[in-house]
Amino acid sequence: MPITTYPSLVYGTRYPAIPHLAGSAFGDGDVVLSEAETRAVLSRPVVATEKLDGLNVGISFVRGVPRVHSRVRGVITLDRLGPGLWPLVDFVFEHLGPLWRLLGNHSIVFGEWLEGAPSVLPYPRRQVAFVAFDLVDRARGFMRPTRAHRTLAAAGFAVPLPVFQGVAGAVEALWPLTRTSRFGGPAEGLVLSQGARCFKLVRPDFVTRRVVKPPKLPRARLPAPVRARATVTKVFEPGDVGRDVEVERLRLVRGLGPGLRRVEGAEVVMGKVPGKAVRASASLPEVAAVGRSLAALHRVPTSLPLGALEPKPSQQLRRAMKLVGRDDWSAALPSLLRLVRAMESGLPHHPVVCHGDLKPEHVRLHEGVARFLDFESAVIADGAWELGAAFERLDLDGRQRVALARAWSAGDGTSFLRAWLFRLVWWVMQPAALQGVALSASGARIVARSEGRARALLGALGGVSVGRLRQG
């Protein structure tokens, strides 16, 4: 019978099913070749790569807005992904520049999402979260696998690695190739490509594999009031309104801060908070403690007329654009503004009292709880603005960002998406606002990384080479 593994794909549909060779394990609804058809396939040269056990997903853009293609749920927006797939949202934004340069509004990349794979099959040496294996052009359909892999690898994405090339002759010759995964543990099977056609071979014993569930993060306690005897005195300039803000927040936030001892004119005396600053080495439970404490901090009201930031990421980006001191940045930024505007469409705005200056030195972790210092910069803003700033300014990796967001607002995908949009703005805002400002070593490292990400994203979106803002 004729075998069509890559039918013409209507843009927006799901990844098509790939037929199984005879002897392969299969499920309900799968297409399985006969033994004669299998022999005919294997009598010609094939390229075999490992079939990974993860979640088959696609990523594309529709009018500049990222979409995820799911076999189960179809094409969905990022804000509809549950917390279990927030690492995928994180991946999309971390790779927004390369993805946009590769896909634009015209293509889809399909691949295997492995971030949740430990709950299905152990991959003890997994170094990547996403292995891309197919490119689909909206008008022309699927690219041939070997060419797609070259294109995807050149764009910086992990791709399947060949484990066999040539004429196999029979299925029995392929089974030994499935004993070990490239990421450790057993392999699920093989994917064989032959020109534009693809086939699957899945180990029959794969369905009886041992399931390993990921550990649950322990719930962190909200801080109790500080009982430290030692005190710290903060001196304000006469007439500094920051003193009133500091005093009010210390009174209202209670155990979330160092505790107010007394006020003597321009001096504010507070407790000395034990613990360590939040660093990149913080554990996931520690980061979750920060998220829960930050959510509690955002619920504390104010009676002061605090300043308010622009409510939307696009409005803050426009403010950042006015601070940029280079013509090439100014020329490239409108393309990022259009993308941010498209992605923020329909997302709600939740103004709260934010800390306003969240950085490692202003967060203290002690015995599994978090407290905050230095409230004089408190401001009314979208809580997701502070979460996005924390992603960047606390120097968090992908897993830490997800742990922080889940603890801050569990189950709210729109909050996570808004936080990421604000983080894109921080990439531009930090280096733009701090041009010519002397920074600490850690601050300079974080700002330099923000600038590097901003330059890469602007270069991809605007198709231009963007120069450095900070010199030296």
Strand, helix or coil for residue 200: strand
Q: Check if the beta carbon of residue 36 is closer than 8 Å to that of residue 165.
A: no
**Which has more confidence, 227 or 396?**
396
pTM: 0.89
Average pLDDT over residues 86-107: 94
Question: What pLDDT does 211 receive?
Answer: 59
Q: Which helix (H) or strand (E) holds 243?
A: helix 242-253
Question: What pLDDT does 471 receive?
Answer: 64
In angstroms, the CA 112 to CA 402 distance is 20
Per-residue pLDDT tens digits for 368-395: 889 999 999 999 999 999 999 999 999 8
Strand, helix or coil for residue 452: helix
Average pLDDT along the chain? 88
User: Does 247 score more than 90 pLDDT?
Assistant: yes
Q: What is the torsional sign of CA 86, 87, 90, 96?
A: negative
In angstroms, the CA 452 to CA 33 distance is 50
Question: What pLDDT does 209 receive?
Answer: 62
Spell out the domains of the chain, with CATH numbers in brackets.
35-208 (3.30.470.30), 231-462 (3.90.1200.10)
The phi and psi torsions of 38 (rounded to 5 degrees) equal: -65, -45
Question: What pLDDT does 123 receive?
Answer: 79
User: Does 23 score more than 80 pLDDT?
Assistant: yes
Q: What is the torsional sign of CA 66, 69, 350, 290?
A: negative
Per-residue pLDDT tens digits for 314-328: 999 999 999 998 999
User: Does 75 score more than 80 pLDDT?
Assistant: yes
Question: What pLDDT does 4 receive?
Answer: 34
pLDDT band with cut points at 50, 70 and 90 for residue 207: low
Question: What pLDDT does 54 receive?
Answer: 87
